Amino acid sequence: MDKLKEFIEKSIDNIKEDRAVTKTLLTSLMKYMVVSEDRHKEVGMIAAKYVETLQRSNEQLVKLTALMQKQTSGNEEMTEDEKNDLFDLIQGDGEDKDG
């Protein structure tokens, strides 16, 4: 179980780092876009991708929270889907299989 805790902590650290970088990039991009409508058209799709990245990290945190809650509730056995989700989080995938 120590290995699971280590993986969860590593995943949370990665999520925090990714969110910090993405927020910095998005803030910079928003300052650039405010200048004119042409700039917004030029980089609007990039800004949308940054927002998607932040949304995915929220989903990752929700999954990790559910895993941690399950672990602390005494039900330490993980399903195969939970193991795959954790592996995806660690690998930085973050994409759900459904969409």
Going residue by residue through the chain (99 aa), what tens digit of pLDDT does each one get? 577 778 788 888 988 999 999 999 999 999 999 999 999 899 999 999 999 999 988 888 888 888 778 777 766 666 788 777 777 776 665 444 344
Q: What's the alpha-carbon Rg for the chain, to the nearest Å?
A: 17
Asked whether residue 98 is assigned to any structural domain, the reply reads no
Name which of 86, 91, 94, 95 is nearest 3 in CA terms: 86
45 domain residue, yes or no: yes
Torsion of the alpha carbons at 65, 47, 95 and 23, rounded to the nearest 10: -30
Q: In this structure, is residue 97 part of a structural domain?
A: no
Domain that holds residue 24: 2-91
pLDDT for 92 equals 63
Evaluate whether residue 96 is within a structural domain: no
Per the listing, tokens 């650290």 go with 13
State the total domains in the chain: 1
Q: Is residue 42 part of a domain?
A: yes
Quote the pTM value.
0.65
Residue 85: CB atoms within 10 A of its CB come to 22
As a whole number, the mean pLDDT across the chain is 81
